[in-house]
């Protein structure tokens, strides 16, 4: 028997009666569809029910039917954290980088690719899928190169997807390392290149920071004067220099030549390296 449409409703669209013809013949069918953009407020699952009401001419009966489709609503998310064991380095020094990826959503993620500025493709170091709430870490050592620029920016970037969805779920994190080029130079001079017992020679010592980073004085020694650290201030700024001098009365026990060496040792805050320099002046006795 032919059915007369009374009303047709849909959970998401409301009244959809107008999208169906008034009379549905025996054995006939009709279809209608629509696109729905999932809202951030939609709960999981998204239950969507269609309900149709018909009647028959001459009869009071309500002829109805419903059907519900249930859609899983996921909230995907991924976070990448990159760290380094030092925030400063120089050519030849080793920095350890660590990368952690965390699934911050409520659905399993499939790994598409994972890249790193210094290492290139690191996909193979992470397993897939990454369960909701799970995390993975991987690390490596990097020896700073003389060609590395300052700062050394190192980015990790991860791309994931979700089974059944086209979306790219991605995250990046960058760690920035200061690349320094330390250097120090010591120059020792004398006001004469010849002397004899009882004569006075004036020695002068100049230390210069030839690098691009401040240097902390560890110790400064002189062949004739011993520890002269207290005569130089610390730190020594990049490009700066300091000088100190003294008079020495030549002793009858001094051998020929009189070799007088100044030796300076510095370090850099945050690095273990010994930055040092020496200079020797030789006086004929």
- Model pLDDT for residues 45-73, shown as the tens digit of each residue: 999 999 999 999 999 999 999 999 999 99
Enumerate the β-bridge partners of residue 249. 200
Residues of the chain with pLDDT > 90, as a percent, come to 100
Same domain, 188 and 204: yes
- Tell me what pLDDT residue 193 has: 96
Q: CB of 87 within 8 A of CB of 153?
A: no
C-alpha 273/C-alpha 285 separation (Å) is 38
Q: What is the mean pLDDT of residues 158-177?
A: 97
pLDDT of residue 187: 99
CA angle 121–181–122, rounded 5-degree value: 5
pLDDT above 70 covers a percentage of the chain that reads 100
193 lies in the same domain as 148: no
Do residues 191 and 265 share a domain? Answer: yes
Q: What is the mean pLDDT of residues 249-264?
A: 97
Final residue before a domain boundary, out of 150, 180, 210: 180
What's the CATH code of the domain at 270? Answer: 2.60.40.10
Domain termination residue (choose one: 118, 151, 180): 180
Residue ending a domain, choose from 43, 71, 99 = 71
Q: Is 63 exposed, middle or buried (0-12, 13-18, 19+ CB in 10 A)?
A: middle
Residues 134 and 157 in one domain: yes
Q: What is the pLDDT of residue 16?
A: 99
pLDDT of residue 143: 98
Considering the domain architecture, whether residues 241 and 226 belong to the same structural domain is answered as yes
pLDDT score of 244: 99
Same domain, 218 and 274: yes
Specify whether 137 is located in the same domain as 113: yes
pLDDT class of 264 with cuts at 50, 70, 90: very high
pTM score, whole prediction? 0.81
Mean local confidence (pLDDT), 164-192:
97
Q: Are residues 172 and 98 in the same domain?
A: yes
Find the domain containing 44 and state its range: 3-71
| Mean pLDDT, range 186-213, rounded to an integer | 98
Number of domains into which the chain is organized = 3
Are 99 and 157 spatial neighbours (Cβ–Cβ below 8 Å)?
A: no
Asked if 249 and 269 sit in the same domain, the reply is yes
CA distance 180 to 128: 39
pLDDT tens sequence across 16-26: 999 999 999 99
pLDDT of residue 35: 98
SS3 state at 259 = strand
Band the pLDDT of 88: cuts 50, 70, 90: very high
The mean of the pLDDT values for the chain is 98
Whether residue 209 is found in the same domain as residue 169: no
């Amino acid at each position: 028997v032919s059915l007369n449409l009374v009303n047709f409703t849909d959970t998401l669209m409301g009244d959809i009666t107008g999208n169906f013809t008034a009379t549905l013949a025996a054995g006939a069918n009709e279809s209608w569809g629509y696109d729905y953009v999932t809202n951030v407020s939609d709960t999981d699952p998204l239950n969507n029910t269609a309900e149709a009401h018909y009647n028959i001419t001459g009869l009071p009966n309500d002829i109805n039917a419903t059907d519900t489709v249930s859609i899983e609503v996921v909230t995907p998310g991924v976070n990448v954290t990159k760290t380094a064991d030092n925030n400063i380095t120089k050519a030849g020094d080793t920095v350890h980088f660590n990368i952690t990826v965390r699934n911050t959503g409520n659905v399993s993620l499939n790994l598409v690719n994972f890249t790193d500025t210094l290492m290139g493709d690191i996909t193979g170091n992470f397993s897939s899928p990454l369960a909701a709430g799970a995390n993975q870490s991987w690390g490596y050592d990097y020896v700073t190169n003389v060609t590395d620029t300052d700062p050394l920016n190192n980015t990790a970037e991860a791309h994931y997807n979700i089974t059944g969805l086209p979306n790219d779920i991605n995250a990046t994190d960058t760690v920035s390392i200061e690349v320094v080029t330390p250097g120090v130079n010591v120059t020792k001079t004398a006001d004469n290149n010849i002397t004899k017992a009882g004569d006075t020679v004036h020695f002068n010592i100049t230390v210069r920071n030839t690098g691009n980073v401040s240097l902390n004085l560890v110790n400064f020694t002189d062949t004739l004067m011993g520890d002269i650290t207290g005569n130089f201030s610390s730190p020594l700024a990049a490009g700066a220099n300091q000088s100190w001098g003294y008079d020495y009365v030549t002793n009858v026990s001094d051998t020929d030549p009189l070799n007088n060496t100044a030796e300076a040792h510095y370090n850099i805050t945050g690095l273990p390296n010994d930055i040092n320099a020496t200079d020797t002046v030789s006086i004929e006795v």
